[in-house]
Amino acid sequence: MQDTDPANPASEAASLAAWLRLVGTAGVGLERGHALLDALGTPEHIFSASHAELCAHVPGAAARALLTPPAGAALEQIDATLAWLADPSHCLLRLHDAAYPALLRATAHAPLLLYVKGRRALLDGPALALVGSRNASAQGQANALAFARALSGAGLTIVSGMALGIDAAAHEGGLDGVGSTVAVIGTGIDRIYPKRNESLARRIAGHGCIVSEYPLGTAPAAGNFPKRNRIISGLCAGVLVVEAAAGSGSLITARQACDQGREVFAIPGSIHAALAKGCHKLIKEGAQLVECADDVLFALGRSPLVAARAAGRGGPAAAEPAP
């Protein structure tokens, strides 16, 4: 776990700056960052290592970059992030921090840093991801809202990606219950995307939690959204796919959930509906078919992932079936 003293502002700022420097170093990236931390322990130890020691884990160019002190835009980025952290509702979780979500840390490719805005404690409780199509049907959005409301009311935090359609409905339902909601976004945490969800984002920041692995100022980029899906599933005991076409990105989240050992649930639909094809595919592959929120709660009640974490919040209880 992180060995800096949070009560010592100078020590804490120096540690955060070192982590930001590591993540921002050209040529390092997530996998090499993990390898360096596994081998050398902390960013401070990485930056004090010799070129030869670093080259045992990264290419020469990356080793040289690690040994070059940050300047210009890189230094400005670190300073801007430390200034952002002055807001008490903001925090930056390092992989080694005790407060880093344990379920996520145990997954492959866990983010080295998590930017958090809002109620950080929501990352510690039992959670379920609700995902699905951006171009959802009215019935799909109604199902997402009803399931999320019931499951949040039963104590589960609803995690989704703040996209249009199913994600937005899931967050709305989550905000209606004690479990609240967590939005994992594919931009810098200081950006709101899509703009149509601006009001929703502000309510989540005020009453729930927003999470990103991307540096401040990161603009929307197509490749970032599939990458963040591993965080959505990694924070949760299971993933519920509400409505999805055969090629939906939410199927990526379901596959990652399987890889992470999570439960996967899917709501069936009409055999004639294109937006049901993805859910039917998942069910054929072994996802649990669910028709109401109680189906999910029953399954998760037997899950060791929820049982191990529910003590602090009482765990999920029975909920009214979703319409």
Beta-sheet pairing, 90-94 with 113-118 = antiparallel
The CATH number of the structural domain formed by 1-86 is 1.10.150
The CATH number of the structural domain formed by 120-312 is 3.40.50.450
Res 323: pLDDT:
41
Res 298: pLDDT:
92
pLDDT > 90? residue 179:
yes
> Does the pTM of the predicted model rise above 0.85?
yes
Instruction: Name 246's Cβ contacts closer than 8 Å, sequence gap at least 6.
Output: 274, 277, 278, 281
The model's pLDDT over 225-275, given as tens digits with 9 standing for 90+, comes to 999 999 999 999 999 999 999 989 899 999 999 999 999 999 999 999 999
Mean pLDDT of the chain: 92
Res 7: pLDDT:
61
pLDDT > 60? residue 1:
no
Residue 321 — pLDDT band, cuts 50, 70, 90?
very low
Instruction: Name 65's Cβ contacts closer than 8 Å, sequence gap at least 6.
Output: 25, 26, 27, 28
Are 189 and 55 within 8 A, CB to CB? no
The model's pLDDT over 30-74, given as tens digits with 9 standing for 90+, comes to 999 999 999 999 999 999 999 999 999 999 999 999 999 999 999
Res 2: pLDDT:
46
Res 305: pLDDT:
58
Q: Residue range 183-209: average pLDDT? A: 97
H-helix or E-strand spanning residue 21? helix 9-24
Q: Residue range 280-308: average pLDDT? A: 85
pLDDT > 90? residue 10:
no
The ranges assigned to domains in the chain are 1-86, 120-312
Q: Residue range 157-184: average pLDDT? A: 98
Res 9: pLDDT:
75
H-helix or E-strand spanning residue 242? none
Q: Percent of the chain beyond pLDDT 70? A: 91
